[in-house]
Chain A
Amino acid sequence: MYAFDFEKPKTVAEAVEALSREDAMALGGGQTLIPSLKQHLAAPSALVSLTGIAEMRGVCTGTDGALCVGGATPHAVVATEAAAKYPALAALAGNIGDPAVRNRGTIGGSLANNDPAADYPAAVLGSGATIVTNTRSIAADDFFEGLFTTALEPGEIIVEVRFPIPQRAAYAKFQQPASRFALTGVFVAKTANGVRVAVTGASENGVFRWSEAEAALSADFSAEAIEGVSVPAEGMVGDLHGTPAYRANLVKVMTQRAVRAA
């Protein structure tokens, strides 16, 4: 690792100030960033740890009934504190990586990183959540912009994520056993305005909404309803773990499992 200054502000305002310095970077749980620093894939002048900012940690209920998760909340905390109000989200968080990763890794870090096989992007897009930063609110539909790319501006911090609570929801993950990331994961949410289906791990462009399945499930919320629809293999990831056709099939199978579990 190259040398850098380490800062641990106590408020969002102090963090924003520290991040305005040239080449300063935010540090969440470090579960992705620290390995990349070791590989010299990033060379920040300063790291600004967000984990000491009390207003960015924890789970609460907003006045509109939405579940608010602080941007620096570790996965393990979401797994327990969201369990009563949004069990599908809590179950997803409780199955990310392993216990040690869940004690450090944060929702903000996962979303900012936007790994194409990460779990949280599916929950955020599938729930139609809102990403609240230090400057604005971003709808999930406008946040994810492809592999490792998001709508965040340099120095912008995810302060909170607000999840409207669906009528029914579930996440079905086909786990890559070595990395424990999603080989394909599907988050299904049934809301008053129809069904949302978000797929992670499968597409070359990262998380996406499967609109054909959404239409079929909005008309009939059952696993059989999507028997006749499928995603094309074109544009799906092909690697040593699976071909594009295999992943395209997994998208449908995981969607059906999520519908059954919801």
Chain B
Amino acid sequence: MTKVTMTVNGRAVSGEVEGRTLLSAFLREGLGLTGTHVGCDTSQCGACVVHVDGQPVKSCTVFASDVEGASVTTIEGMANPDGTLGRVQQAFQDHHGLQCGFCTPGMVMSAAALLAENPKPTEADVRHYLEGNICRCTGYHNIVKAVLAASGQDVSGLAAE
């Protein structure tokens, strides 16, 4: 076991990990931050996406030791300081961008990364950027709508097919 130190949602944290401890396991089991979901555990589904130094990564496919010293943001870090839902989270609720909610943490983290890079994406940009995030419930239309709405664009013309 070795000690790993990083900043998670603005807070300095450390814990004992094995070489093989994944970032997803460190967050969930080590820190109790179970908002980060593990779906496929094989880097296919994107449910486990978190930001490492501002960039989205699949936390099931990164070792905790490899991000020693990094700044990590998880879904728990996306709410407003007063505990209300953040802009992207609120848009998912308003536009029915979730059903069972399993994919939602990863969707929100990927969507937030897209909007940081590209504040006014087109529908095609959103669909392309979310290619690594799989949803088994919604059929994606309302997710795309939520992301466009979170960017401040008018989505009244987009049908929920």
Contacts and interface: CB of A to CB of B under 8 A. Distances in A.
Given A30-B66, A34-B43, A180-B131, A99 B20 contact: no
A104 B131 contact: no
Given A31-B43, A104-B57, A104-B62, A6 B129 contact: no
A47 B61 contact: no
A51 B57 contact: no
B43 A6 contact: no
Contacts of A158: none
A232 interface: no
B46 interface: yes
A240 B38 CA distance: 28
B7 interface: no
Name A's interface SS: mixed
Interface residues of B, number: 28
Contact of A49 (B52, B66, B113): B66
A3 interface: yes
B61 A99 contact: no
A227 interface: no
A4 B20 contact: yes
A5 B55 contact: no
Nearest to A101: B132
Nearest to B63: A6
Nearest to B113: A99
A104 B65 CA distance: 14
Task: Determine which residue in A1, A51, A98 has the highest number of CB atoms from chain B within 10 A of its CB, and name it.
Answer: A98
B56 A100 contact: yes
Nearest to A52: B66
A35 interface: yes
Contacts of A3: 18-20
Task: Determine which residue in A34, A37, A46, A47 has the highest number of CB atoms from chain B within 10 A of its CB, and name it.
Answer: A34
Name B's interface SS: mixed
Contacts of B57: 100, 103-104
A166 to B, nearest CB: 27
Interface residues of A, number: 27
Contact of B19 (A6, A35, A103): A6
Contacts of B41: 38
Interface in A158-198: 180
A27 interface: yes
A174 to B, nearest CB: 16
B110 interface: yes
B113 A27 contact: no
B156 interface: no
A1 B43 CA distance: 15
B49 interface: yes
A217 B51 CA distance: 45
A97 interface: yes
Contacts of B113: 99
The 5 closest A-B pairs by CB, nearest first: A98-B132, A6-B19, A6-B65, A1-B20, A103-B55
Interface of A: 1-6, 8, 27, 30-31, 34-35, 37-38, 46-47, 49, 51, 76, 97-101, 103-104, 180
